[in-house]
Structures are given as C-alpha cells and as structure tokens.
Structure 1
Amino acid sequence: MSINDRILTPFTLPNGVELKNRLLMAPMTTCTGINNGMVSPELVEYYRVRAGSIGAVIVECCFIDDKGLAFPGAIGIDHDDKVAGLAQIAAAIKGQGSKAILQIYHGGRMVEPELIGGNSPVGPSAIAAPREGAAKPLALTGEQVDYTIYQFGEGVRRAIEAGFDGVEIHGANTYLIQQFYSPHSNQRTDHWGGSRDNRTRFPLAVLDITHSMARQYADPSFIIGYRFSPEELEEPGIRFADTMYLLEKLAQRGLDYLHFSMGYFLRPSIVDTQDPAPLIEKYIAMRSAELARVPVMGVGGVVNKTDTDMALEHGYDLVAVGKACIAYPDWTDRIASQQTLELFIDSTKREELTIPEPLWRFSLVDAMIRDMSLSSKKFKAGVFQEKVQTDDDSQPVINVSLETDRITDVTLQPDASLDVAFVTSFETIRSRILDANSPHVDAVSGATTQSESVKKAVAKALAKSCKAQILEEGGNPAASQNYDVVVIGSGGAGLAAAIQASDDGARVLVIEKMSGIGGNTIKASAGMNAAETRFQKLKGIVDSKEWFYQETLKGGNYKNNTVLLNRFVEQAPLAVEWLADRGIELNDITITGGMSVDRTHRPADGSAVGGYLISGLVKNLNKRNIDVMLDTSVTEILYQQGVVTGVRVLNEDQEQLTIVSKSVVVASGGFSANSEMVVKYRPELAGFVTTNHKGATGSGIALLEQIGAGTVDMGEIQIHPTVEQTTSYLISESIRGGGAILVNQNGQRFFNEMETRDKVSAAIINLPEKYAYIVFDEQVRLKNKAADEYLARGFVISADTPQALAAELNIDPQTLQATLARYSGFVEAQCDSDFGRSSALRHPVNQGPFYAIRIAPGVHHTMGGVVINADSAVLDSQNQVINGAFAAGEVVGGLHGNNRIGGNAVADIIIFGIQAGNQAASYALR
C-alpha cells in the first residue's frame, strides 16, 4: 500500500481502538468559554461541523484548576458543573462518527494574573518566564503539588463522565507539566526537582493518575495521549536528549500516542540552528523498540494532502490538522477528493463556517482572514535584510524573503547572544506576518515592544523591495505618487475615514508619523457613547438622543458647537452599526461621568475599547488594499489656487517626497503630549503628566493653520481625574461607572464620583494631599476587564477585608469601613444623600477582595482645534470652506465645549471619521 493510500485508511492504536483514518483535528484554543469556563452552544456547533470524516477531534485544552487558565475565554474541567457542557461537545463529535479526545492542562507560570483575578500564577519554582511583563509565580508547596496531580485525575474522571473517548495530557507549550521537567523553571530541591530523574516525577505522576482513573471509570478502549514540546530555548532548558529520556519513561507506563508540538511538522532544532535535519528524523533514529510501539503524531503547517503524505514519509504515524480545519470544516473530504487548498478565510463567511465570534477575533484566525493590502504593490523578488531595533540595542538581523506579490518567509539570523524572550515572541509575530502577508498585524501579548520592532523591520524591507522593483522597471522611486484621498493619522478617526473613503471608491493613502498604527485611540479604555442603539434596546435600556444631546451640552458647560453636537448625536447609533457591519461589535454597555443612562458601548467582555477597536479597523484597512506609510511626517499640505493638491512628506530615511492628492483628511489628534503648547494656553498645567501617547503633539493643527484654517477653544484642555501618576496610565471611567468610589487619605468620600471630569479633577486637586484612591470590590472587578489589566500592571493594592486594605493605604480602618458601609447603604436606597450621586449605584462595596489605586489628575484631552462645518470640511478664519481639506477627531475643536464627557471621544472619532472619509472621497471623485 502506498503512503498516499495510507493517510486515509484506518489505524489501530495500541489499546485496540481503530481510528477511521490517520487524521486528527488539532487542539486549538477558541476563547469561546463563558461564565468562568463553561461551554457555549456555539462551541458545540463549531466542533460538530468539523467532526465526521476526520478520524478524531482533539478538543482544545481544558484547565483543571481555575488558577491555571492560560487564555481568555478558556474552557474548564475543574468542577463537576462543567461536565454537562463538555458532554454536549463529546456527543456532537461522536454523533458525526469521529472519536472525541479532550486535552487537559494547567498553565502554571504562563498564566497572566489578569485572567485569575489579579492573583499570582503558580509554578514549580518562583521563577518568572523569560518574556516581557511575565509575572513571578508562587512556588507550589509539596502538598500543593500532590493536590495538583489529584486535580489532573479529577479532570480525567470528568472527561470520562462527559463521554470522551480519551484525553490528551498537555505536557507542552511551556505549561505546568513541561515546567516541572524544565531545569529553567524547576529549580526545586525536594524530590520534585533537582536531577533529571526527579524532574520526570511530575509528568509521570500525571500519567499514572490518568491510568488509574481510566481503570476505575472507563473501559480499556479509553485513549491516553501525551503532547510534548521537544526543546526549550532557555538556558538551562530542555534539550532533545532530555525529551527522549522522558518519552522513554512515559512509553514504559503506557501511551496510545505521542503528539509533537511544533509550528511545523518538519521543523529542525531551535537550539542547534546549524543542523537542518527535522527533529522527527532524530526521534526515529534515537527511539527504543518500546518507544517505537507508541504512535507518533505530527502537527503544524498541514494544509494539503501532499503535506500529510510528506509527514508519513518522514515517520509520523498520525497527522494533526490545525488552522486548515478552521478554514475548511470539511477539510478531510476536500483532501480526499484531491483538492489543492489555500489557507485563508473569506471575511464574509464567519457564520457559514461556524466560527465562534471570539475565535474569529483571536489572532490565530485573524491572521488567516486574507490581508490584500500588499496586492497592489510589486516587489522585487529576493531576500532583503534588515536590523531590528531592540531596547537593549542588540540589533538582531532578519531576512525577509519576497516573491513579486507576497512575503514568503521572515527568518532570524542565527545569533547565540539573542534574548530567549525575543526569539520566542519572534516566532509568533513571524507566523502572523506570513499568514496575513503584511506587517500590519496585532502585536504578541506580553511582547509588544519586540513585536513592533520586528513589524517595523519587515515594513522597511518591503519598502526597499518596492523601490528596487521600480528602479528595475526604469521608474523613479521619488516620483510623485497619486491618490484620491490622503489621510494624516492612523488613530480611530483616520482609519474610519480611510475605510469609508475606500468603500466610496477612492484610492486612499494613510500617513502616520509614528512607527505603529493606532494613535491615541489604542489607549482608549471606557467605550463609545451613543443613544437609541440596537444594543441598548436588546438590554432593555431606555434612552433618547435628546437626553444625550442635553447631557453632553451640560457637560461642556453649554459652550459646545451645537451644529456639530446635533450631527454627533444623530449619527452615533449609525456609527455603532457601521462598526458592527465591519466585525467590530460594541454590545456591552456601561456608563461614564456626566451621563444619566448606560450608553457607553464597549466589547462584549468588558475590556478596554481602544485595542479592540484598532485591531478591528486595521483588519478592515488591510482587506481594502489601502496603503500605509509609517514613520513618515507630513511637512506641508500643498494648497494652490484655492484647493488642496497634495502633501509633502519626510520619511524615516530623511527623503522628501511629494504625494499628489485631490483631498486630505487630517486626523492627527490633539496636543496633550506637547507640554509647551499646553502651557502656552494653560500655564497652570505646567508639570502635569499626560495620558496621551507621545505623538499627540498638535502637528495637524499647525499644518492646517498654514493653509489658513481657523481654530477654536484652544485653551479648553481637559484633565482626567483618575491617572496613575508613576506611569501616566489612565484608570478607566468604566471602573467608577461599574460602582467604584473615590476616597481621600482620611478614608472618606469627598465628591460625587460620577460628576464630569473637570469637576472631579478639581475636587481632587483641592484635597490637601492632591491625590485620592479609587476603591472597589470583587463585584466591580469581575465586570470590568480593565481592572484585571491594572492588577497585572501592579497598580492595584488589594486585601481581603476593608480593614486590611486601610492598613495598606495608611488609612484609619474604622473610617474606611464606615465609608464603605455608608455608601453601601446609599446603594440599597438608590439615593446618595451625601454627594447626590444618582448613577452607577450598582451594588454595595462589600465583597472581598477589596482593591484601591492611587490616582491624581493628568492632562487627557484638548477640546480645542481647527474649525469644521457639520460635513467635516475645514473652515478658514472667515468660516469659509478650504476646498479639499477635511478633519476629524481631536484635531477638531468646538464639539465638546470646555469639558469632554467620557465615552464621547470614541464616538467623535468614529462618527466624524466616517463622515470625513465620505466627504473627502465625494469631493475627490466629483
């Protein structure tokens, strides 16, 4: 029988169970768990449609301890109440004719504190993972190690009760089991650590208890697999010989399969980079006769039947298929019929492909949604080398391999001095760039700086290649480029304008002076205000545009431009739908200061709106073939004979270029980060920190002033009351909107927390200490993911009781306890007789743990800027339209009066960004 025939024929495991073929769906996290790890109906359907023709489905990793989840939206097997939901998945898979296997794990030190209530993760030793921002874990005691093994056993019991055909023990991906075997993460001195033999004890104990549970509760057909990562980059770390030693011991205990965990099934060593031999070849050569009896499974990079055949040729017995099963639920049928597949997902097919919404937004899938942003560019084929600028000035070198229309590879030049964390994050960002065919992808969580430096280097290589191709064709790279619309700034307003202009038929260029996309929007936390929306109605929230108008007018002290305000209020619900139509759904709702109704729309999980918004907008940008220039400053808007004719720019290489354009949208933000400009208009703000990113310097205002634009309200500069002063990090208004209070150093409330920002800021500044504490309890934390971020960043002081929290804050315990009790009474009565707070009286502050963050005001928003009309056209000092010039976002003045309401900035940038893009395209295409 040929290898080509073998992949689709039955295969018998060591326990006698027959799989209908040698193909398995790989375990891939979907982030679709609900209510602390329960199974959702859409997750059941996701697995149902992918079962059937494939031999087995390995269901994504299930945490065996609620302190062991390594992903948001993870599913759990930590309690008996999870069994019913998991049973639905097992029944759905088996009902279609495939075997159902459940992967079980504990994340150990790889767990982020924000996922477990701000608590510290645990590990074999108190040694943090070598990655940016990694938390130092608490070392498990001997008793806790024993209990964790018991928890693995209970997980197996529950899997059997749920009807699964087997379990896969997750001993890979640097999670807890691997951590116990690693000499880097396990530096214990008891019998669980030290020698290599001692370090094998934990994985062997987990396998032993798995066998014990299978003997007690399952029949002999129960499948037991083990997933492993063959090497670690850490020093000291697991090497391939160590892995073989462990696998031999596992095989002696009995396994039905071993599962290599690698990004590519023919990957060579990541330690010995001079040896090109695939690790599977080394494995075959080194294994004993006993280990050879255990089938071995490969995973990574399998898309077509040629890939599966190659895996068998190199010695794999089984093949696990990952992303291809997401993109093609009927993948097995397709390869059986000899189809040649391309790994991408049509952006309009989410529901048809039964991909749950959280998975659709997860980077694994996001990267497969085809980015055609480079399709209009022509590269010179070849390899282009760039240095990556890192914080430690190590300057690793990458090689970017290009065909004429795509990126074929991004590799890291071997360098023994490279930081382990950099190498690890590089592999992830490399995969995202290759899948998306673009450097404009989400950064790796926990390695943002490293990711951005790699993305920038790739972008520079692409620019070099484009120039080389133009020269080869006899062209001039410095020649003027032509566009219908140039957008200056890549924050929310700029991206919304670019997307809308493109949708209206214009050829669009986005120019950004910073190294990355996102502007100040990426720091936004609260949400987007809008009244009379579909999402409010679904939640039974009664609201009106008139209330929204009046409260915004009052919040701005009646100094708002009422023409702009009317357009703003009318268009807000349409802008929420505009986002939803483009896969950016803001369907959870909270409240901010100055509002009387819940109308602040944010992501479903309650997370900060900024990153979610920018990620979704960039995905839309990429799909529309919109060009982006980063590290490029606009030095002049060209204005001749009464019309805009283009822009002059200066790129990172100090090249001056002219770009011809029929219209320009300026969306470059405000000037909060320009201290000189702030002090010019408000001398009393000298020395205040700012929450803004360093690119918020007011450059767009200056550019428009050069062509005659008028300005308004330049002295109206908002300070935000709740800013963590050591990092200038803004503490979201959604925390107070979720039920938190403010107390002074005496432990007493001193003002209505839900008043407008200017008034709350003034009240804090008037305190003798000039700072305050925002205090909240576990109820607030659970409903506001931003709070978990603050915990992870170390801003939060926590304690189990109010008295203990008071001691941490050097506050009189009785006073703080009395303050919380009095406020809780106001919540019960829904009446704050001390300060008149009438909104966000959500629940008493009485459920521990209790939390506090020390805050003080910081410069946050500049309400002043250039003058526009209701159609976003820029006006000159005589209120006449400047033909071809449009503006949106914080660069514009007038809308907010002398105080901006929290949640109105995001609404502003999206509403007027859409409108500016539409009007600029209409003007250019007339």
Structure 2
Amino acid sequence: MFSPFTLPNGTELKNRLLMAPMTTCTGYFDGTVSSELVEYYRARAGSIGTIVVECCFIDDLGLAFPGAIGIDNDEKIAGLAKIAEAIKAKGSKAILQIYHGGRMVEPKLIGGRTPVAPSAVAAPRDGAATPTALTTEEVVGMVNKFGEGVRRAIQAGFDGVEIHGANTYLIQQFYSPHSNRRDDEWGGSRDNRAKFPLAVLEITHQMVRQHADDAFIIGYRFSPEEMEVPGIRFDDTLYLLEKLAARGLDYLHFSVGYSLRSSIVETTDPTPLIDKYVAMRSDTLAQIPVMGVGGVANAADVEQAMEHGYDLVAVGRACIAYPDWSDRIASGENLELFIDSTQREEKNIPEPLWRFSLVEAMIRDMSMAAAKFKPGTFIEKVQDEDNELVISVSLETDRIAAIELTDGPEDDVSFVTSFQEIRGRILDANSPHVDAISGATSQSEAVKKAVSKAMVKSSKALVVEEGGNPAVPQDFDVVVIGSGGAGLTAAIQAHDEGARVLIVEKMPSIGGNTIKASAGMNAAETRFQRVKGINDSKELFYAETLKGGRNKNNAALLHRFVENAPMAIEWLADRGIMLNDITTTGGMSIDRTHRPRDGSAVGGYLISGLVRNIAKREIGVMLDTSVTGILMEQGEVCGVSVLNDENEQQTIRTKSIIVATGGFSANSQMVVKYRPDLAGFVTTNHKGATGGGIALLEQIGAGTVDMGEIQIHPTVEQKTSYLISESIRGGGAILVNQQGNRFYNEMETRDKVSAQIIALPEKYAYIVFDENVRTKNKAADEYIAKGFVVSAASPRELADKLGMDRHHFLATLERYNGFVEQQHDEEFGRKTAMRNPVKEGPFYAIQIAPGVHHTMGGVTVNTETAVLDNQRQIIPGAYAAGEVVGGIHGGNRIGGNAVADIIIFGTLAGHQAASRAKR
C-alpha cells in the first residue's frame, strides 16, 4: 500500500492511499473557501499519497449541502488555489471533485428556487421537490459549465479532477432510466442516456488539452446500482464504464458505503460487487485503476480491499479522526474510530464538520463513562407525535450496548432511517444527550427518552444489588432547575469550579425556550467586533438598552449585564461555541448581535454546543422530572423534592439551587392575569414556558417585579406561531401593509413595531426581502423550507401573488431603495440595517403579525444572581438566571439581549452557587 503507483497518463502517486472526498459544510455562504478549510486539508496532507477535495458545485443551482464550496465562477479560483497549494506543499497530490446535485438539491439551499434535472421527476424521498427539466440548450450549457469547472480547477493548481457521476447527482441522473424520461437526443435509449456523462468527460479532456499538461489526472466516480425501478443495474454500469474507459480515464472510483459491499438489488447474492466487476470487465476496462472506499480504518482493511481487486484505497472518517492517519498505519498502529471531544482545534476539524452527524458520532469522550449500570435489557414504551414506540435498551456496566425498535412503524422507510440515525448517534456518544435528527425531532426525543429511562432504572437496580437504597436522598453541591441556555450555562460553570451538579428538567428534552432563539447575542466591545472594524461601546449599549426598556430597567443589573457581555462571548468561544458573525436588531444603532458564522439561528447552535459540554463533563440530567418544592432548613435552601414521569417522588439534598426555568409566555392564564389585552394572542414559546419556577420561588418568599411587562414580537407566522427572526429585518428587509406601503420604521423596538401592525385595519403585515438578504441569513432558507414564504421573480409578480396594489408596492420599493442609496429614510427615520436596496430577485414575502414572546417580569435578584425576598433580603442558597428573573429588560426587551442574559447571568449563577457550596 505504501509503494508508488503509476496512473495510465504516466503520473506517479507516491502510494496507493488517498483521502476520500468528504463534505465538510465549511464554505462561506457564497461557496467560497474559508481559511479554516485550508488548514483542515493542510493538516491531512503529507504522508498520504493523494487528497481528493470535497465536491465542488459547478453551477449555483447545483449545491447539495449547506456550506458547500463552489467552482461556478472565476472568483472562486483564488480560494481553491489556497487548498491546492496547502496540500501540494506537504507533498501530496491534490485532486478536486466536481459535481452538480440536480434533483437532489433542496430548494432551501438555493433560495427557494426549483432544482433542475434531466426530467421533471422528483427523487423518491419524502418532501423531495419536483425539478424543472433542462431544455436541450440548457443541457449543452450544463456540459459547458462542467468544462469551465475543470478549467478553473486547473488554474487553481490542482493535479487533477474527479468527475462526480455517483450518489444520484446530476450526471448519474442523466444515465438513470428513473430520473431521465427525456425523448430527445439526451434520453430514451441507454446510449442516449450515456451521452451526458460521456460529454462531460469529453469536455474535461478538451480543457486539459488546452490548459494543463499530460500529467493532469482525470478520475470518474460512479455508483454501481440504484434501488429505483426502473433504475441503473450493474450491467448498465459496466456498459457505461466501458465507454468511458475507451475515451480515457486515469482511475475509477467505486462509490459504495463499504468497499466490499454486495448488491443492493440482488440482495440474496453475498458476492462483493468489486469481485463481480473484476470478473466481468473487459481488457480495456482492466487497464483503468479502480479505487475502493468505505470501512477503512486500519492496514488490514486496506490489504483486504486490495486483495479483492482495488488498485487504490480511499480513506474517509479515519482521516478526520487522525490527520496523520497514514503515518500511524505505517508505524503499525491499530486504530479505533473515535475523536476526543477536547481535540477539535488540535485536529484542525472545522466547526461545521464537527457538528456533522458522521463526525459527531465519533466523538467518544462525550460518553457517560463514569456512569455505572446493572447489565441488562430494558423495554420502554414511549410516544412520539404519531406512534407509541416500544424500544429495547441493552446496557453493560458502563455503556449503552444496543437500542432496538421492537414495536412501531417498521414498514415506514423514513421512520426507520431516522431511527437508525438517532440510534447511531446515541450509541457512538454513549449518551442520550445528542442532537435530534432534523425533520424527525419528535421521534428522536422519544428514543432519547427511552434510553434515559432505561439508564435510570438500571442505575437504581445496581444500587439495590450493591446493598444500597435508591430511595435515600441523593446529595449534590448544586441543583439546576431547567435545561435551557441559562441552566446549561450555570451547570457548566458550577462544574468547572469543582461543584457536583445535577440538572432537573420537567420536559422530555433539553433546550427549553433557548432552542427557539433566532437572532443572536448582543455584546459590545468584543474582539469579533474589532476584527470587523465595528466601533462600539458599552456606554452606548447601556443607553440603547435602557431606552428600549423605557427606562424601567434595574440599573445595577443592566450595568452588570453590559459589563459582562463581552466576557460571556469569550466564555462560549472557550467552550467551542463561536458567535463570530455580527448583525443588528431593532433598537440598536450598531451591529452588535453575535450569531453563528453561517448566519443560522442562534438557538439550536447554542444548545447543541452547550449539550456537548454537559456530556463531556458527565453532568447528570433528570428529564421528565418536575420540582414540586424547594426545601428549606433554618432559613436556607437544603434540597428539592422532585416527581418523575413514573410518579416517583424523590428528595435531593443540595447546598445551592439555580432556578433557570424561563418565563411564562406559554401560560395564557398567567399572561392574561397580568395583561388582559393579550387574550387570544399566539405565543412563540415552547409549551414548557409556564412560569413554574416563579411559583416555586414565591413559595419560599421570593419577591417579583415587572410582572405586567410582557413583550409581543412583531413578526410571527400565525398558523404555526413560528418566530421570523429579527435578523431578517436586520439584514435589510422591510415591512409593508396589504396595500403595498411601508407604514413604520422596521428597526424600531419590538413593542412599537407590534403596536403599528396591530393598528393596521388587517392586523397583519408582510416582511419583504430579496435574494441578497436571503443569502446572508440562513434562517430565511428554513422559512422557505417550512412553506412560510411567497416568492416571485419580480416585485410586480410578488404583489400580484399577495393581492396588493402593484403600483403602490413598486413605488414603495423605489422610494425605499432611494433612501438606501442616500442612507437617509425621509419617510420613517430608519437609521440601521439599510444595507442594500431591495432589488435583487427573486423576491420574498412572509405574512406576519404579533405574538406573545417574552415576559420581562420575574423574581427579584441582586447583581450576584441571589434571589431576594419581598423585603429585598437574600434567600440563602437560592439563585436564578434567565427569563425567570425580572428587572433586567425593563418595559421591553431588545432583540438579542435574551441570549446575552442567559449566558451572562447563567455563568454568574453557576459561580455563586459553586462558591457557596465550597463555603
């Protein structure tokens, strides 16, 4: 495997090992290359012979992944050249894979536009969009785009290209009788269907002749079979490969999940497909080296693949886990596929790749290695949205051994697929605290709940077996009530200061209301602002928050909030949670709303990162468990009483509690008690936001403040109560009424904008934005995917679809765009987020109206987060953080301040509670 290998064009590879092309999702929003991606490839180059760089889209309708990198225009050459240079400088060959996703592209990745394909036939998967069939002229144009991609790869300095004709992407779609139903020269017979991949290979040769030398490598990746009927079968593949080989290739890349995989069509035949291939290929085809991929971690895997006929072997996940993989193999190491969760930076793994499911599954020291179970199998009944599930959970002394579905919709392919994925995440992490599967959240949470219940039962059984009594109160330094952002932050901080911590959560899943947060986290004078040249001050941040809160904010709490905000940004960064993109929200005059680099909603990203930190520290979490009372002894907190979903009562002793249970926006009776005018309003909050923590603290004498200060958010999709992020307006969107006119300054505070919408005769408005705003705000793609968005190629068409006066709407856009050019809104005085004119099609609109969003009132605390009684005296041992606390935001919360609140005061509460426990 380490001997040199010569390709048909005479190019010598220094060994037979290649790093497989693996999507990292680390490109910028426009498909350009990030420095993080360059360093990722640099770290893996050197002893491995060749690196095949992840697939690069050749057309802006062709990206099949978020964070994909592109080669669709000449501006991309410079960034790609950095990758090629980094790889080659370390002595490895650099090959770039090029592709177009075709019908496998999700509309949300291309701004809600319709994907293109050979024919208007949707992919056989749930929710797949029906693509637009390419015209004959467009097919020719697409071949040329592949050619231009090859030219750019050459100019970027790559040693070769790999044409991606696999994984049901566009090239394969042309050859497949399922996706290609054309009746012109590009479809119909097998020969006609083969014309597109052959044309792509031909133009690749043309570009190499014109722009490269004879050493330039041309590879072709293929999938040997399709499950679809009609679909590609193995003899079809051999037929195409013979034609490709006759025209000249330097290698073929077998695309299978496991290098020795057998047929997915003839399931009774166990013969590996590579064995069939070697036996059936012609002498011509036998001259083309063939590369295998999948299931390769150690030398024995490579040797086995080569024994079956592979000339070259590509290594995937092992190269992520071990950047120096080939050095380790050469020295005789036997490797296990796992990644220490503290080594992301050391291994140069980009953050988006770190969160990718295949990589996340390898993060092993997130495990509950300290947990001790009584070995056995536990059968748990749980409920998702649609089904009762019976799940078998097998536990060994220190790990989750197996998870099986014993009763449920086993004939539902989509359900089984997502079950297998969530099962894999839990088993690989050895913890139920993993991210849910996108699109299958309810099912994921049900499976996680089943595993958690089994673990609790097993732990109790072990205590009994060892002669203990599980009813004896457990003892912790700190008990955190609530698992939203404030609770998780407080738990991590307390743990890091040496405290034994337990989290108690009444809901069946972690995340609270934080997981729904969208805009970002406000902070002034941060290093991320300095990097972007944003000149901000804490004094201005204080003044604007006080003004936004109608001067009702608790001044001492607000000063602490503003002072600690940049430290909170760094606290997150130190724990691998980077909020390094910046936008603005209503009420702010400057960009200070920090969010994930890709512009996505902050909530899911934040909770995912905090949960990773919770699991890494092995902090205990009790789900589906309500705190029924806070126990006091001699005037101080001494414990809590809890009730789990099995109706078991338990006492937990503790030296300190941190109440982080959120607000009460989802408790309509409580909302109406303090604000009768809000009867009938929808809420953006999750159903657990019922004010239970306030009631618990009131029972031990806590005082409250500002309970009637309840915020409604102006932009809520009413059918689903889904919040439309302020970052959309912060990105440059406008609000118009049903007549097509702007009616207020969109970037005013939430209370004022909401009041103006309520004052409209129709009681709703539209948030309108263009393609420029969409590309810079990932949340917009989510709204498109959820069906909230009306889109149109032109403003005139959008007005017609919305039933508004097109003349008013066109005049509104013209007038507003003029204000943007002048950077002066003569009509409503908007001063921020006038970034670009709204003029780049497509155009988008979402109908919105206000909804109950945040309760500014809550229990009283001091600047150290200690809970105060009605006489403003400290209740010893009781701390609180997050929306359960009142006073910080005054009469109105500024967008982006809630996330800052939970991190700032969560860390303070964790510190104070741990310090008290030590004392």
- Fold conserved (TM > 0.5)? yes
- Residues 745, 772 of structure 1: 8 Å contact kept: yes
- Residues 30, 775 of structure 2: 8 Å contact kept: no
TM-aligned CA deviation for residue 102 of structure 1: 1.4
1:90 maps to a residue whose letter is A
CA distance in 1, matches of 2:469, 2:230: 52
CA distance in 2, matches of 1:320, 1:383: 38
Farther off after superposition, 710-719 or 415-424: 415-424
**Please, which of 752, 757, 761 is the counterpart of residue 754 of structure 2?**
761
Q: How does 1:500-899 map to 2 (within 5 A)?
A: 500-899=493-892
TM-aligned CA deviation for residue 814 of structure 1: 2.1
Structure 1: state its 5+ residue gaps: 1-6
CA distance in 2, matches of 1:843, 1:8: 55
Distance 1:635 1:128, change over 3 A: farther
2:113 maps to a residue whose letter is N
Farther off after superposition, 543-552 or 348-357: 348-357
Partner SS for 2:854: strand
Q: How does 1:468-507 map to 2 (within 5 A)?
A: 468-477=461-470, 479-507=472-500
Distance 1:177 1:551, change over 3 A: same
CA distance in 2, matches of 1:218, 1:774: 50
Q: Alignment identity in percent? A: 76
Partner SS for 1:628: strand
- Residues 131, 446 of structure 1: 8 Å contact kept: no
Q: How does 1:224-623 map to 2 (within 5 A)?
A: 224-230=218-224, 255-267=249-261, 280=274, 294-381=288-375, 389=383, 391-393=385-387, 395=389, 402-407=395-400, 418-477=411-470, 479-623=472-616
1:32 aligns with 2:26: yes
TM-aligned CA deviation for residue 627 of structure 1: 1.8
Farther off after superposition, 139-148 or 518-527: 139-148
Residue-by-residue CA offset, 1:124-152 (whole Å, 9 max, x unaligned): 34444455554443233333333323322
TM-aligned CA deviation for residue 434 of structure 1: 4.1
CA distance in 2, matches of 1:515, 1:128: 36
Residue-by-residue CA offset, 1:602-632 (whole Å, 9 max, x unaligned): 2222222112211221222222121222233
2:721 maps to a residue whose letter is S
Partner SS for 1:502: helix
CA distance in 2, matches of 1:865, 1:47: 50
1:893 maps to a residue whose letter is G
1:64 aligns with 2:50: no
* Number of residue equivalences: 919
- What residue is the counterpart of 1:155 in the other structure? 149
Q: CA RMSD in A?
A: 3.2
Residue-by-residue CA offset, 1:316-373 (whole Å, 9 max, x unaligned): 4332112222232221111101123343444554444334454445444444444434
Residue-by-residue CA offset, 1:81-131 (whole Å, 9 max, x unaligned): 333433343343334332222111112233232322231222334444455
- Residues 400, 461 of structure 1: 8 Å contact kept: yes
CA distance in 2, matches of 1:765, 1:374: 51
CA distance in 2, matches of 1:399, 1:712: 48
1:80 maps to a residue whose letter is D
Residue-by-residue CA offset, 1:394-437 (whole Å, 9 max, x unaligned): 84x76656543334565667999533333444454444434433
Residue-by-residue CA offset, 1:629-673 (whole Å, 9 max, x unaligned): 223333333334423333333334443333332222111111111
Distance 1:897 1:394, change over 3 A: closer
Farther off after superposition, 730-739 or 401-410: 401-410
- What residue is the counterpart of 1:3 in the other structure? none
- Residues 367, 429 of structure 2: 8 Å contact kept: no
CA distance in 2, matches of 1:265, 1:782: 38
CA distance in 2, matches of 1:9, 1:924: 62
1:575 maps to a residue whose letter is A
Residue-by-residue CA offset, 1:778-828 (whole Å, 9 max, x unaligned): 333333222232233222223333333222222222222222233333334
Partner SS for 1:495: helix
TM-aligned CA deviation for residue 67 of structure 1: 1.1
TM-score after normalising by structure 1: 0.91
CA distance in 1, matches of 2:270, 2:479: 47
Partner SS for 1:890: coil
- What residue is the counterpart of 2:41 in the other structure? 47
- What residue is the counterpart of 1:93 in the other structure? 87
Distance 1:121 1:203, change over 3 A: same
1:419 maps to a residue whose letter is D
- What residue is the counterpart of 1:19 in the other structure? 13
CA distance in 2, matches of 1:394, 1:742: 44
1:102 aligns with 2:99: no
CA distance in 2, matches of 1:544, 1:771: 36
Partner SS for 1:843: coil
CA distance in 1, matches of 2:140, 2:447: 42
- Residues 49, 93 of structure 2: 8 Å contact kept: yes
Farther off after superposition, 911-920 or 339-348: 339-348
CA distance in 2, matches of 1:415, 1:693: 27
- Residues 59, 72 of structure 2: 8 Å contact kept: yes
CA distance in 2, matches of 1:564, 1:234: 62
Distance 1:835 1:84, change over 3 A: closer
Partner SS for 1:891: coil
TM-aligned CA deviation for residue 538 of structure 1: 2.8
TM-aligned CA deviation for residue 236 of structure 1: 6.3
1:170 aligns with 2:151: no
CA distance in 1, matches of 2:308, 2:796: 64
- Residues 373, 627 of structure 1: 8 Å contact kept: no
Distance 1:160 1:571, change over 3 A: closer
Partner SS for 1:923: helix
Farther off after superposition, 40-49 or 665-674: 40-49
Structure 2: state its 5+ residue gaps: none
CA distance in 2, matches of 1:93, 1:865: 56
Distance 1:215 1:535, change over 3 A: closer
Q: How does 1:209-224 map to 2 (within 5 A)?
A: 209-211=203-205, 213-214=207-208, 217-219=211-213, 221-224=215-218
CA distance in 2, matches of 1:837, 1:219: 57
Residue-by-residue CA offset, 1:263-302 (whole Å, 9 max, x unaligned): 4445566677787776556656666666555444332333
Distance 1:758 1:785, change over 3 A: same
CA distance in 2, matches of 1:662, 1:238: 66
- Residues 366, 612 of structure 2: 8 Å contact kept: no
CA distance in 1, matches of 2:460, 2:149: 57
- Residues 98, 164 of structure 2: 8 Å contact kept: yes
1:38 maps to a residue whose letter is T
CA distance in 2, matches of 1:348, 1:257: 38
